[in-house]
A = this chain, B = another copy of it.
Amino acid sequence: MATLQRPPRRLIPGFVILAVSTMLLVQLARRSPVLLVAPPGTAARGAGALVRNVAVRSASTSSSPIVSAIPGITEKYKSLCDRLKEINQLSGAVAILGWDEQTMMPPGAASSRGQQKAALAAIIHEKQTDENLASLIQELQEGKHLNCEFARANCRDAKRDYDLESSKSKEMAKLEAELEADCFNTWVTARKENDWKAMEPKLKKMFDLKREIAKATRPDLPTYDGALDAFERGMPSSKLDSIFSQLKKDLVPLVKEVTSAKGYKIPPELKDHDFDVKKQAEMCIEIAKDIGFDISRGRFDVSAHPFTGGVGPSDVRITTRYSPKNWAEGLGGTIHEVGHALYEQGRSMEHQDLPVSRALSMGVHESQSLLWERMVFQGRPFWDYATPIIHKYFPHTKDITADELYKAVNHVQPGLIRTEADELTYPLHIMLRYNLEKSLMEDSVDVSCLPKIWNEDMKRSLGVSVPSDADGVMQDVHWNVGAIGYFPSYTLGAMMAVQFYNEAKKQIPDLESKISKGEFGPLKDWLNQKVHQVGSLYASPDELLIAVTGKPLDAGCFMEYLQEKYSKLYSL
């Protein structure tokens, strides 16, 4: 089904495949309900106060010693950091085992690897729920006596992590791990055999358990919000509802206009030719290095399901998939993963192994991969730089112009499969899933009705008939590995990417002319400073967006970008 004109999206791209089984998900899943955190001594304020207040926080980290005027607090903070670092280092070991499992491990080692990971998981859980850790967290009182905002953010997130981890019973965690493995295995076969009936009871169990976990770990939130918060801190579903409904209202007519317009016809050199996969890989590595991926702190490998894994910032491992017919998938996929990797490589060394150095949310992580994939790779300036490189590696394309390549990677066509969707129809796939998982978690829809609702909605929103459950309700891995509440992050990330990129264009002189010359350093450095180094300093993506761009998430910016781009591309 993969065709050239559909820019690539991974099964679960980025850190997520590893995350589901290993660490990032664990880290993210431990975040508790988040609204805007007020600095010590102030009352909670509205967004206006926040704009004034957080905007003055510089993105650069401070290297002055962290101290407190209250006796003993500095030492207690140091003890807390030692414990948090240890937990993170053990989690790093799990991440490497996870990468190895996906790329290197012989099949016969599955069971022993499972046992190694289980042994480590038990120890990590023990350390995370240690009562000495709890005492330190309590005594530090969210770090209010510490002179450093990064230190305070560490205390804040240490508390959240502890609260979440300790609110989930050992039995619950065990059941969760078992069900995730069981459900995933069932899904692999059921999808292959288009057997919804085999999937249904397992998926029902999964939603039942996740409902229970959401209630136990985030009792103050509506049930679905409890699941969502694991991936997207500070984003209540009420807000998401309004964002998505506005988006849908504007997007559906645009998609209609675009699909009725006369599209660009991709030349045969770009779609009817075998692109040598070795040359594709060489080309992708050349471009990834140009963009700024640091190979001395990372690796490139090939895998069936591309992902970025490893341990940021010093050991970030990208995998890509290459197919001979679809060079754009390999290149777009590489650049997407490089976007994730730059975030991980750009994490603060000063706060290494501490919560504040982690990525802020799944949506923010996606914003970094999508900024490079959509704003850069699918933008026109990039092709001034990249066209000669394509010609060099694939001389038969020598007559294809930058304009043609730009159009080729931006072809719109509504389809069945989310991972193959273009930039314009992608959010419609997300909204379908969001509405379904929300209703399922809120118990207003039963798992048994899923296929029917799915197929009706696909017809209504995308005009597509679903021929089988395998290509319908069973196409995605997410729910089957317990990643309920994950889907919105894709579209939130796409929206944030536009806002970050717009701001970058304002702040970096001649950004797009730099990109057209292959000068990616200024954009990378800007993102490093504004987003990567900042990590989890802010308590929510909105707070980060305000600090970097001056305003919170805004679906309007996203629609404006799409309108402008596709009006031009399709001469609307």
Contacts and interface: CB of A to CB of B under 8 A. Distances in A.
Contacts of A296: 106-108
A488 to B, nearest CB: 32
Nearest to A345: B108
B109 A315 contact: yes
A311 B89 contact: no
Contacts of A111: 314
A298 interface: yes
Contacts of A325: none
Given A109-B315, A315-B109, A93 B104 contact: no
Interface in A83-131: 85-86, 89-90, 92-93, 96-97, 100, 104-109, 111-113, 115-120, 123
A295 interface: yes
A297 interface: yes
A89 B113 CA distance: 8
Given A97-B96, A119-B86, A108 B314 contact: yes
A109 B295 contact: no
Interface in A377-406: none
Contact of A90 (B85, B89, B116): B116
B298 A106 contact: yes
A252 to B, nearest CB: 46
B120 A315 contact: no
Given A100-B100, A120-B93, A123-B123, A297 B106 contact: yes
A91 to B, nearest CB: 9
Interface residues of A, number: 36
Nearest to A119: B89
A403 to B, nearest CB: 38
A167 to B, nearest CB: 25
A344 to B, nearest CB: 12
Residue in A107, A112, A123, A311 whose Cβ sees the most chain B Cβ within 10 Å: A112
A104 B299 contact: yes
B119 A90 contact: yes
A195 interface: no
B352 A106 contact: no
Given A111-B314, A113-B315, A96 B89 contact: no
A176 interface: no
Interface SS, A side: helix
Q: Give this chain's copy count.
A: 2
A314 B112 contact: yes
A123 to B, nearest CB: 6
Contacts of A298: 106, 108
A294 interface: yes
Interface in A114-151: 115-120, 123
A200 to B, nearest CB: 34
A108 B111 CA distance: 31
Given A109-B314, A112-B314, A315-B113, A97 B93 contact: yes
Nearest to A310: B109
Contact of A104 (B104, B117, B123): B104
A80 to B, nearest CB: 16
Contacts of A97: 93, 96-97
A267 to B, nearest CB: 37
A298 to B, nearest CB: 6
Contacts of A108: 294, 296-298, 314-315
Interface string A399-426: 0000000000000000000000000000
Given A106-B315, A311-B109, A96 B116 contact: yes
Contacts of A352: 112
Contacts of A353: 115
B112 A315 contact: yes
A106 B299 CA distance: 7
A307 to B, nearest CB: 16
A315 B93 CA distance: 17
Nearest to A108: B297
Given A115-B89, A123-B123, A96 B100 contact: yes
A341 to B, nearest CB: 12
A445 B296 CA distance: 44
Nearest to A94: B93
A433 to B, nearest CB: 35
A415 B96 CA distance: 42
B112 A311 contact: yes
Contacts of A86: 119
Contacts of A315: 105-106, 108-109, 112-113
Nearest to A117: B93
Nearest 7 CB-CB pairings of A with B: A109-B315, A108-B297, A89-B119, A108-B296, A109-B314, A93-B116, A112-B314
16 contacts: A89-B112, A90-B116, A90-B120, A92-B116, A93-B97, A93-B117, A96-B96, A96-B97, A104-B104, A106-B297, A106-B298, A106-B299, A106-B314, A109-B314, A112-B352, A116-B311
Given A104-B104, A106-B314, A112-B314, 16 more contacts: A85-B115, A89-B116, A89-B118, A90-B120, A93-B97, A96-B96, A96-B97, A96-B100, A106-B298, A106-B299, A107-B296, A108-B294, A108-B298, A108-B314, A108-B315, A115-B353
Interface of A: 85-86, 89-90, 92-93, 96-97, 100, 104-109, 111-113, 115-120, 123, 294-299, 311, 314-315, 352-353
